[in-house]
Amino acid sequence: MIRDATAAPAALSRPGLAGPEKAQAMDQAQFRAFYQNTAPSLRAYICRGCGSVDLAEDILQDAFLRFLRVAPPAMDEPQMRSYLYRTAESLIADHWRRWKREQRWDVESLFQKEAPPDRDMGDDMTRAFRQLKPEHRSLLWSAYVEGFDHREIAAARGVNEKSVRVLLFRARKALAAILERAGLGPEAV
């Protein structure tokens, strides 16, 4: 279900804040501009993490809805982007946990000998990327497709900036192992 997220509430502010505690509110025009700048890359990130365009659209809208409900209004644009990516990451993880739980109880999957082919996987790299854990997939996507630096990734994931190096190393190593098993490693050249 596609919804128009640019039709946001007139102001982004926390309920119950008044007087000097109330931070600068985001009006509808500012939100629309922020949404138009952020949504395409966030949608691509989510789509890569969940593997479905329709599900990515739902998660995108849910992430923006949560942002409008609870994000502190005193954030600058990089902090708002980090908040959205962190929220999307949580929603993707929730989706996969729910999917695994459903698959465990799906009687048909117990007797299914071969999984149906995934029509979205067109090439070897996509197939290899899909075999990664969602955490590794999202890290590699953030760093090498979105071009986020370690500081931005650390803020989005809620980890120390130095930890990002280690996490990216592990993600690259996992991808390299998958590519080697598929015969796409350096010795295959």
pLDDT at 14 over 70: no
pLDDT at 22 over 70: no
Amino acid present at 181? R
Sign of CA dihedral 62, 68, 74, 78: positive
Secondary structure element (H or E) that encloses residue 8, with its range: none
Query: What is the reported pTM?
Result: 0.51
**Chain region(s) in the chain for CATH 1.10.10.10:** 122-184
Is 167 in contact with 158 (CB distance < 8 Å)?
Answer: no
Q: Provide, rounded to the nearest whole percent, the portion of the chain with pLDDT above 90.
A: 17
**Least-confidence region, from 55-59, 69-73, 90-94:** 69-73
pLDDT at 25 over 60: yes
Which pLDDT does position 173 carry in this prediction?
92
CA-CA distance, 86 to 43, in Å (whole number)?
Answer: 13
Of residues 110 and 176, more confidence is placed in 176
pLDDT at 183 over 60: yes
At 78-123, the pLDDT tens digits run: 888 988 999 998 898 888 777 776 665 554 444 444 444 544 434 6
CA-CA distance, 175 to 78, in Å (whole number)?
Answer: 28
Amino acid present at 93? A
pLDDT at 7 over 70: no
Of residues 12 and 78, more confidence is placed in 78
Q: Look at the domain 122-184 and name its fold.
A: Arc Repressor Mutant, subunit A (1.10.10)
Of residues 38 and 18, more confidence is placed in 38
